[in-house]
């Protein structure tokens, strides 16, 4: 096992209250966001709590465990390894690679001396099968790539425009700490990760035959981050490229990409009511580095899209449910809800003049409730609040618990 790692204490603190409890702990997220290392951290935490802990570890990306192919193999392996006297803590990395794994876990998790910790990179497997077989007996913990504060901590950098540009360009996959932060080195690595996610977690899992169509769809999404998107819009665009793809197929592909945690959907919500609209969703990428290699690298004209994507995931990392706000014909970038708290957020690159100021602050001013409202931008000199709306520099925003 790997013994050295950078700690991600925020996730550990969230899981610790459930250690030893009769709940299956499932860490879900895109490949390479650091779920495996979190398992190692949890093992160390458990050893501190329970000195007699029996640790059973299975990593389905390691050839040593290739023989564990089905739930029967899994059941037999764990029963062979378990300690009869002490509590067994079972860690299974990329559990979706084991056929019908939930059948074995459903049985074994009923035993008093078993405590399960799983990771998975496919939402459809984890949601549908577990919901059916393990209702009420598991908890999902979403795991994301590094936030900006984690990025500068991992790479021993300081809060600055230079480190933020690196974060924008290369994204937050934890393994980057082992590589020199240069375009050719990082983008070569990210291309391999992109291919793995696309081919293994989408193409192979969902048995997609036309990979070229899928890649063109991904490219369209990468070039339209934060734009209102419908299947019809995408279909019309592809037709201009002499590619025919029905709206049904597009919707299926979008669902598959979301299941692999490669993209996330932000639905539109009516600010004056509780209605959630089923059309014109926006899509954001889990990792900006992966998004950038799809479009040939980061380009300055993309800055508005990029900032919006980064703010979106900052909010997700902090546990907010995020929708795009609709107020009549106007739009608010993000409506964020957590534990009864609501925050409205508008994201802009710069606010250089009164025209832009009225546009960015104006939509928020039309919201008549008393919840917090924030405009986030890269402006260095910020005059303060505008009629109760906070104006915050993005580096301050990303380094503050909201």
Reported as a single tens digit per residue, the pLDDT across 379-392 is 998 877 888 999 99
- Look at residue 93 and tell me whether its pLDDT is greater than 80: yes
- Look at residue 88 and tell me whether its pLDDT is greater than 90: yes
β-sheet bridge partners, residue 140: 26
**pLDDT at position 123:** 82
In the chain, domain spans: 9-142, 148-398
- Look at residue 367 and tell me whether its pLDDT is greater than 70: yes
**pLDDT at position 257:** 97
Q: What is the pLDDT of residues 279-323, one digit of tens each?
A: 678 999 999 999 999 999 999 999 999 999 999 999 999 999 999
Residue 63 to residue 401: CA distance in whole angstroms: 41
Q: Residue 127 has which token pair?
A: 């949601």
- In percent, the amount of the chain with pLDDT more than 90 equals 77
- Look at residue 60 and tell me whether its pLDDT is greater than 80: yes
In this prediction, residues 225-254 reach a mean pLDDT of 89
**pLDDT at position 308:** 97
**pLDDT at position 245:** 84
Q: Give helix 101-108 / helix 71-81 axis angle, nearest 10°.
A: 40
Q: pLDDT band for 204, please (50, 70, 90 cuts).
A: very high
- Look at residue 187 and tell me whether its pLDDT is greater than 80: yes
Assigned superfamily of 9-142:
P-loop containing nucleotide triphosphate hydrolases (3.40.50.300)
Q: What is the pLDDT of residues 110-132, one digit of tens each?
A: 898 999 999 999 886 665 556 66
Strands ordered across the beta sheet of 330-338? 276-285, 263-270, 321-327, 330-338, 341-347, 372-377, 390-393
Pairing relationship of beta strands 321-327 and 341-347 according to DSSP bridges:
unpaired
In this prediction, residues 318-340 reach a mean pLDDT of 93
Would the pTM of this model clear 0.95, i.e. be above it? no
Distances, alpha carbon 38 to alpha carbons 145, 154, 215, 266, 299, in Å: 12, 15, 31, 27, 33
In this prediction, residues 31-44 reach a mean pLDDT of 96
Q: Residue 287 has which token pair?
A: 């990792």
Residue 243 to residue 260: CA distance in whole angstroms: 24
- For the chain, what is the mean pLDDT? 92
**pLDDT at position 133:** 67
Cα–Cα nearest to 252, from 270, 266, 234: 234
- Whether 103 and 73 have beta carbons less than 8 Å apart is answered as no
- Look at residue 325 and tell me whether its pLDDT is greater than 90: yes
Q: pLDDT band for 134, please (50, 70, 90 cuts).
A: confident
- Look at residue 1 and tell me whether its pLDDT is greater than 60: no
- Look at residue 371 and tell me whether its pLDDT is greater than 70: yes
Pairing relationship of beta strands 276-285 and 263-270 according to DSSP bridges:
antiparallel
Q: What is the pLDDT of residues 256-287, one digit of tens each?
A: 999 999 999 999 999 886 666 556 789 999 99
């Amino acid at each position: 096992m790997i013994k050295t790692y950078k700690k991600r204490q925020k996730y550990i603190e969230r899981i610790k209250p459930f250690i030893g409890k009769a709940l299956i702990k499932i860490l879900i997220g895109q490949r390479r966001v650091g779920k495996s290392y979190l398992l190692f951290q949890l093992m160390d935490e458990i050893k501190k709590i329970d000195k007699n802990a029996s640790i059973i570890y299975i990593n389905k990306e390691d050839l040593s465990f290739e023989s564990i192919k089905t739930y029967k193999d899994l059941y037999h392996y764990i029963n062979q390894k378990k300690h009869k006297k002490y509590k067994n803590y079972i860690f299974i990395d990329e559990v979706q690679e084991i056929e019908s794994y939930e059948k074995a876990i459903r049985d074994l998790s009923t035993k008093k001396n078993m405590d399960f910790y799983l990771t998975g990179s496919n939402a459809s497997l984890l949601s549908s099968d577990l919901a059916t077989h393990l209702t009420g007996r598991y908890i999902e913990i979403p795991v994301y790539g590094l936030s900006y504060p984690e990025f500068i901590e991992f790479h021993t950098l300081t809060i600055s425009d230079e480190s933020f540009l690196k974060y924008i360009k290369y994204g937050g996959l934890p393994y980057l700490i082992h590589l020199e932060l240069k375009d050719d080195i990082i983008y070569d690595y990210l291309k391999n990760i992109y291919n793995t996610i696309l081919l293994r977690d989408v193409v192979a899992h969902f048995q997609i035959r036309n990979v070229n169509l899928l890649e063109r769809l991904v490219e369209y999404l990468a070039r339209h981050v934060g734009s209102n998107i419908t299947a019809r819009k995408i279909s019309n665009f592809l037709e201009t490229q002499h590619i025919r793809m029905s709206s049904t197929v597009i919707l299926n592909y979008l669902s598959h990409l979301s299941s692999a945690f490669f993209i996330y959907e932000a639905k539109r919500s009516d600010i004056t009511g509780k209605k959630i609209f089923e059309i014109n969703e926006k899509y954001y990428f889990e990792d900006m580095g992966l998004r950038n290699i799809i479009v040939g690298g980061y380009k300055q004209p993309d800055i508005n899209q990029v900032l919006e994507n980064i703010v979106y995931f900052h909010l997700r990392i902090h546990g907010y449910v995020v929708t795009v706000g609709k107020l009549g014909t106007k739009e608010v970038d993000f409506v964020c809800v957590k534990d009864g708290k609501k925050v409205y957020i508008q994201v802009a690159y710069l606010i250089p003049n009164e025209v832009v100021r009225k546009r960015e602050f104006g939509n928020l001013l039309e919201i008549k409730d008393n919840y917090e409202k924030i405009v986030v931008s890269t402006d260095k000199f910020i005059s303060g609040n505008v009629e109760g709306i906070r104006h915050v520099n993005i580096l301050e925003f990303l380094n503050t618990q909201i």
